[in-house]
Every structure is written in C-alpha cells, then in structure tokens.
C-alpha cells in the first residue's frame, strides 16, 4: 500500500525552501507522494526531493484531490482563501500563517506540548504558531507541565528572516553598506551610509536601519501601542498551553541576525522551582539542547543554533527577588522550529493516524 | 577669582575621549583650569580643550594638588588605588569605575534622580553608576517619583563599546569579515568567516561572535549563574532609587551595535499608572526625549540616539495582564549618559558648591 500524500503550498518561498531541506534530511519517511505547489508564477520550477525531481504545480483546487495533508507556508490572505479549499477536498490543512491561529475551531499545535489537540479539528485545519512564540514554546511547555506557569515577561531578539527572504536580503545589503566604515558613532550616520549605498528606508521591510542597530518593532500596530507580534506571543501562548488567564508582557525587538530568534524569558510558576530541577527537565526533552555553562563560556547564541532543529536553552537562573521564578535565554531557528519544522512535525504526527 | 580646577584621569581612553567632546560642547563652563591625566605611557600627548592645547600629565599623587574635582574614567583597580589619593590631596573624586559603587560610604549619583546624595561623601568619593543601569535610570527615576517603583524586569541590548575601544574595534572587524558573505545561515559559519579573516575568538573581548549574532553575557560570572552586569543593574538601581527591597531581574545581552545601550523594561509600581500620565512625566524631563508614535514608525533606536546626551524613551504600553505596570523601551548612549556625561554632570553640580 502506498503511503499518504503530502502537499507543500508555498514551496518556493523562504519557509518552503527550508521545508524541502527538512524533507531531504528526514530518516523516517511515511509519505507515498509529495506535491510541491506555488503561485502560477513559480509553477514549472524543478525541485529535487529525496532524489526525485519534482515539478512545482500551480495553486488550484484540483491539486488537492487525493492529498492527505496539505502544509501552507504562504501569506495570511493566501492561507485564508486556500486552506479551506484544501480541507473541502479532503486534506487536513496545516497552516503556518496567522489566518486561523486564534479561530476557536482550529487547534494551535506544538507537537511536544499539545499534540493531543490536533485530533479535534472541525474545520479540517490545524494552525502552526507564530515563530516568536514557537521559539520558546518547547522550553516553556516542558517547565509548565512540571511547575504550572502563571506569568511570562519576554523580550525578543528577532532575526531578519522573520520578514522572509526580503528581510534576509535587506540585512545583507545593509551589512555590506556599513562594513569597513566608521559609522554607528553619531546619530543618523547609519541612515546616511545606507542612503549612500542606494538603500532607501522606504524599500526596507523594517521600519528603521537594522545593521548596527536594534529596532523595537515587529508586525503591525494594534490597540494601545502594542504590535501584532507582541499580542501573538501573549494570545498564542495562552491557547497552546491551555491557560486562558496566563499573564504575559512581551516586547518584540528586531536585531541584525539573519536567522534564529532569541528570547529573554522571565517565567513565574505556581510551584517552587530550582535551577537544578529546570536543568533536569529541559535536558530530558528530545527537542531541547541545554547549553548552560557560563564558566566555560557556554550559552546559546544564534550563530551556533541556526540551521538546526532543536531549541537551545541556557542562562537558567532562579530569580533573586521573585518567588517561583526562572530567568533564562532561549534560541530557536525561526525558519525551522519556528516555522517549517513545527509544521512538518504536525504533518508527520498526522501521517501516523491516516 | 579663577574658577575651580577639574582633573580628568583616563583622558585618552574611550570614555575620556567622549569626555573631551563634552568639555568642548558645553555652553556653561565653570572651571578655571582643566588637567588631563593618563598613564605614563600616554603622558605628553596633546589634546585641545575649548581651544587650548593641553599636555596630558602622567598619573602621580602631586597632579591632584590644587584640584577641586577629579573625574576617573579608568579600570576598577586604577580607581581603587588612585581615587583615595586624589581625595586625600583635597579633591572630590568622581569615579566611573565599579570600585566604590556599593561602598556604604560612597554615594552613587544620577543628578536628575538623587543629586541630594552627593553632599554626603565621607570618603571624598562619589561613584557614577554602571552604563546599563544609567541608560534607563533617568526614565525609571522620573516614573518612580510619581508612582513608587516596586519591581523591574529588564532585558538589555548592549553595545560593543561597553567593552571599550577594544570592543568597538572588534565589532567593526567582525562586520568587515562577514559583510558580503552568505553567512549566518548555518551553525558555525559566522565563526568560520571570522577565523578566515584572522579574527580568533580568544582575542575578542566578547565570549562569542558579535556580528550577525547576539551574546547573552556581559561582565564576569557571579553566584548561581548570574553575571556581574545583571547584579549591577539590580544592586545599583536599589541604591540610586533608595529602595533596598526593589525586586529586580535583569538579563544582559550584547548586540552588534557600536554605541548606545537599549533596554526593554517591565516596571511595576505601587500606584496605578496610565500611558498618558507616563508620557506627560517623561516628556517633562529635561534629560529625556519621548519618541513614541509607532503609527508614524517613531520609536527610539540606537542608530538615531548615539552621540547625544538625552535618554530616549518609547514604546510605552500599559501591561495588559499586570496591574500598575508599564512596558517600555529606552535607549541611551552608553559612553555619554551611561558614562562620561553623568560623571561630568556630577562634577558640574559640585562646581556650584565649591
């Protein structure tokens, strides 16, 4: 009997490209067929998956016929239109956009945290969380199971690729424009160096220079000065963990890193927690690498984490003044666990039920 | 009558150089004489101060004779030895190192927050806070006066120049080594690019690559996984604000920015606080610039703040789930308000009492 059929919508985008890398790197492979799907503009491209050259198909209702699981790595509005069509045609849609995450009829799944929720999917759609939330969720979920999470104060150090290939290209162009110059020492000199290199701010996916800078903004403006990214961290954490009254404050900041989001987390639990207990729990998770030996200069940094599947956790400290509270630092590749990998893990888990 | 005599010890270092810029930029000038002092190695150099060419003097007890205020911008161990000597010779020593900050006999002063403490100096020494603490203290102090601070959760985005000129040189060399290359996409590739450019990690003042990276470490290892920088934020904030039981958790992270520290602050007060009230208070401070209009893309970033005297504050939000709590983002030039400027402001305030 041939295995189930997997579709990847958005196969030629930044996340889709990482997904193909994930396909090629897996040891277990439950799928009988893979269909690569993209906009008509990218249709016809050839991409090799596990040794077989596949032709990218144009997005259309009939490409979902016979598909068991359809993964969507496309903008919100494309998912909003097409995931229901895939579901109608009999596929389970696993969507990485923001279109369905807070829909009561759509589970929001991180396999190592709440895989049990994936079975209850009245719309035939399962949502994948936002990359910033996902980068910390394996660690938070493991600690919550043991100590009962009550409060989160989070500051992010988000990579340029959170804004897609355009974000990566912009960051690299900005590095080239400032490297070897004495800039970053006077207000406005980074802006001048970018302008001199022909990089106008209006063409950037970021609202300020990112090279030699940090930008306290991500997403779009919501009520009372909060941005969409900060509210996603709050609302998605609550939904994934099943804690509707979880207290959350997030500040989202873009940093000049290509890929891998980092977060400084201040997490308060209902129960007492020690660093030794936290270390033991974190080290026991298959999807977490504990790197926490500052005496030897060992802690997670994006440059050592990027391109890998695990979430890296370090700098675990017991808060000195807050009871039942840990401070720690976590790094996760925002294109892998933060996007493509988690989506694939949901699909892989579904394959076992088909 | 000639004005008082001001000495600058460490005149040729990274902070000392900024201090000379500050001398040259002031409108009011109460001093009758300036003495520039450095190690014997740098003695004899010529530096122009307010149009007059001065010769740098070698550090020795007698250079403090007749000095009214001696500012120290030198490493801890140099201050520990020499600030008491300056005081013995009759000068008030204003020290920017960490040597005396937590000494009960030494006031720790931020003029706009606790200038009244400067008069009580039994050792003849006044300490200047750490640059990370200082970068947020004008804002925190103003809000505390009105709403009574109880708790601080802080994540820093610290610039390379916090590690002195060596830090600046290293960051610029790292930018040059990675610019124009496809790195930051695979674990270890940034390290490889630096090694290929002849930049060994052992020669860096930072414990990991800083270009295309963030490094969750500053200072030295203290008990229970905390580093010295994080404990300074806690202990110095308590002392400056006069709140011995202030609850503080800080995570200090180095980012690839030349100069200007940023902090994401989550501040809980005894009393209710609104964004409108906070805006009004912050905007009224002479040393603060409020930049908080995200709809127009306006928030503080290091690239727009560096080189200036004020602390910039933006992204002020009322916490959604924590009572009496504000989240905000603050940027301050770590060499100016974070070091040289605050030291000079203490000295200037002293000049009025001489």
The pLDDT of residue A354: 83
Helix axes A341-351, A14-25, angle to 10 degrees: 50
Average pLDDT, chain B: 97
- For chain A, the distance separating the N- and C-terminal CA atoms, rounded to the nearest angstrom, is 12
Q: Are B211 and B192 in contact (CB under 8 A)?
A: no
CA-closest candidate to residue B276, choices B316, B313, B310: B316
Enumerate residues 161 to 190 of chain B having a beta carbon within 8 A of any beta carbon in chain A: 172, 175-176, 178-180, 182-190
A252 is catalytic: no
| Domain residue extents for chain B | 5-128+340-352, 133-159+215-332
Q: Would you give the DSSP letter of residue B322?
A: S
Residues of chain B above pLDDT 70, percent: 100
A-contacting residues of B 6-65, CB under 8 Å? none
Q: Give yes or no for a contact between B309 and A211, defined as CB atoms under 8 angstroms apart.
A: no
Phi, psi of A350 (to 5 degrees): -65, -35
Per-residue confidence (pLDDT) for residue B2, from 0 to 100: 83
Q: What is the pLDDT of residue A1?
A: 65
Q: Please indicate whether, in this complex, the C-beta atoms of B321 and A178 are within 8 angstroms of each other.
A: no
Q: How far is B304 from chain A (nearest CA, A)?
A: 5
State the best of B210, B279, B301, B311 to mutate against chain A, taking most chain A CBs within 10 Å.
B301
pLDDT score for B183: 96
Residue B116: pLDDT over 90: yes
Instruction: Tell me the C-alpha distance between B325 and B193, whole Å.
Output: 44
The helix (run of H) or strand (run of E) holding residue B258 is none
Which DSSP helix (H) or strand (E) runs through A39?
none
Residue with tokens 């030629």: A12
**B247 with A213: Cβ contact below 8 A:** no
Q: What is the pTM of this model?
A: 0.97
Backbone angles phi, psi at B274, to 5 degrees: -115, 165
CB pairs under 8 A between A and B: 245
Question: A180 and B184: CB-CB below 8 Å?
Answer: no
Minimum CA–CA partner of B250 in chain A: A327
Residue B301 in 3-state DSSP? coil
Check if B308 contacts A (Cβ < 8 Å).
Answer: yes
Question: pLDDT tens for residues A97-128?
Answer: 999 999 999 999 999 999 999 999 999 999 99
Taking only the tens place, the pLDDT of each residue in B51-104 is 999 999 999 999 999 999 999 999 999 999 999 999 999 999 999 999 999 999
Spatial separation of the C-alpha atoms in residues A139 and A328, rounded to whole Å: 10
Point out the catalytic residue in the list A144, A252, A261, A331: A261
Question: A250 phi and psi, to 5 degrees?
Answer: -125, 140
| pLDDT given for residue A56 in this prediction | 98
Q: From A275, which residue of chain B is nearest by alpha-carbon distance?
A: B224
ipTM of the shown complex: 0.96
Q: Tell me: pLDDT of B198 over 70.
A: yes
**Rounded CA Rg of chain A:** 21
Q: Is the pLDDT of residue B172 over 90?
A: yes
Give B205-223 pLDDT, tens digit per residue.
999 999 999 999 999 999 9
Produce one character per residue of A314-346: b if its CB has 16 or more CB atoms within 10 Å, e if not: bbbbbbbebebbbbbbbbbbbbbbbbbbbbbbb
* pLDDT band at residue B1 using 50, 70 and 90 as cut-offs: low
A87 Cα to chain B: minimum distance (Å): 34
Is the Cβ pair B303, A187 closer than 8 Å? Answer: yes
Residue-wise pLDDT tens digits, A44-70: 999 999 999 999 999 999 999 999 999
Give B221's contacts in chain A (Cβ within 8 Å): 294-295
CATH fold for the domain made of B133-159+215-332: Dihydrodipicolinate Reductase; domain 2 (3.30.360)
Mind listing the pLDDT tens digit for each residue in B13-62?
989 999 999 999 999 999 999 999 999 999 999 999 999 999 999 999 99
Give the whole-angstrom CA distance, residue A276 versus residue A92. 41
Write out chain B residues lying below 8 Å of A209, CB-based: 301, 303
Q: Hey, what are A58's tokens?
A: 């144009």
Average pLDDT of chain A to the nearest whole number: 97
Contact B302 A212 (CB under 8 A): yes
- For a pLDDT cut of 90, what percent of chain B falls above it? 98
pLDDT (tens digit per residue) in A144-191: 999 999 999 999 999 999 998 999 999 999 999 999 999 999 999 999
Fold designation for B5-128+340-352: Rossmann fold (3.40.50)
Tell me how close the Cα of B119 comes to any Cα of chain A, in angstroms: 31
User: Which residues 78-137 on chain A approach chain B with CB closer than 8 angstroms?
Assistant: none
pLDDT at residue B144, rounded to an integer? 98
Give the gyration radius of chain B's Cα atoms: 21
Quick check: B262 and A317 CB within 8 A? no
What number is the average pLDDT over the span A196-211?
Answer: 97
B275 touches A: beta carbon within 8 Å: yes
Percent of chain A surpassing pLDDT 70: 100
Beta strands in chain B (DSSP E): 5-9, 33-38, 46-49, 52-55, 57-58, 69-72, 92-95, 125-127, 149-157, 247-251, 261-269, 288-290, 311-318, 325-332
Instruction: State whether B207 and A297 contact (CB < 8 Å).
Output: yes
Q: Say if residues A56 and A37 touch (Cβ distance below 8 Å).
A: yes
Instruction: Tell me how far apart the alpha carbons of residues A335 and A350 are, in angstroms, rounded to a whole number.
Output: 21
Question: A63-92 pLDDT, tens per residue?
Answer: 999 999 999 999 999 999 999 999 999 999
Residue A236 has pLDDT above 70, yes or no: yes
Q: Name the burial class of residue B272, with classes exposed (0-12), middle (13-18) and buried (19+) by CB atoms within 10 angstroms of its CB.
A: exposed
pLDDT tens track for B221-249: 999 999 999 999 999 999 999 999 999 99
| Coil, strand or helix at B124 | coil
What residues of B are labeled active site?
131, 261
Q: Write down the pLDDT at residue B288.
A: 98
The residue-averaged pLDDT of B342-349 equals 97
Of the residues B264, B273, B289, B309, the best mutation for testing chain A's interface (the one with the most A CB atoms within 10 Å of its CB) is B264
């Amino acid at each position: 009997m041939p295995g189930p059929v997997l579709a990847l919508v958005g196969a030629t985008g930044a996340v889709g490209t990482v997904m193909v890398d994930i396909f090629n790197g897996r040891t277990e492979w439950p799928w009988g067929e893979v269909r690569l799907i993209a906009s008509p503009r990218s249709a016809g491209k050839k991409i090799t998956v596990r040794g077989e050259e596949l032709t990218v198909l144009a997005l259309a209702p009939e490409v979902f016929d016979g598909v068991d699981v359809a993964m969507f790595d496309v903008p919100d509005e494309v998912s909003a239109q097409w995931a229901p069509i895939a579901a109608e045609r009999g596929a389970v849609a696993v969507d990485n956009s923001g279109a369905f995450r807070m829909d009561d009829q759509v589970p929001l799944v991180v396999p190592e945290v709440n895989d049990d929720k994936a079975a209850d999917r009245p719309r035939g759609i399962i949502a994948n969380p936002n990359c910033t939330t996902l980068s910390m969720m394996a660690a938070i979920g493991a600690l919550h199971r043991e100590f009962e999470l009550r409060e989160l104060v989070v500051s992010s150090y988000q990579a340029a690729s959170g804004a897609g290939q355009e974000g990566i290209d912009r960051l690299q162009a900005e590095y080239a424009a400032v490297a070897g110059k004495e800039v970053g020492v006077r207000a406005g000199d980074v802006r001048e160096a970018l302008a001199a290199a022909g990089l106008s701010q209006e063409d950037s996916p970021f609202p300020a220079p990112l090279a030699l800078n940090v930008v306290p903004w991500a997403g779009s403006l919501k009520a009372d000065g909060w941005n969409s990214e900060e509210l996603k961290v709050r609302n998605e954490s609550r939904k994934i963990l099943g804690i509707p009254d979880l207290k959350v404050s997030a500040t989202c900041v873009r940093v000049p890193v290509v890929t891998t989001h980092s977060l400084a987390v201040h997490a308060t639990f209902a129960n007492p927690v020690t660093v030794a207990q936290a270390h033991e729990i974190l080290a026991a998770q298959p999807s977490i690498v504990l790197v926490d030996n500052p005496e030897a200069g060992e802690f997670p940094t994006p440059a050592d984490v990027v391109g890998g599947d695990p979430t890296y956790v370090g700098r675990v400290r017991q808060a000195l003044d807050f009871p039942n509270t840990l401070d720690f630092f976590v790094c996760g590749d925002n294109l892998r666990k933060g996007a493509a990998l988690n989506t694939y893990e949901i699909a892989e888990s579904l394959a076992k039920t088909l």
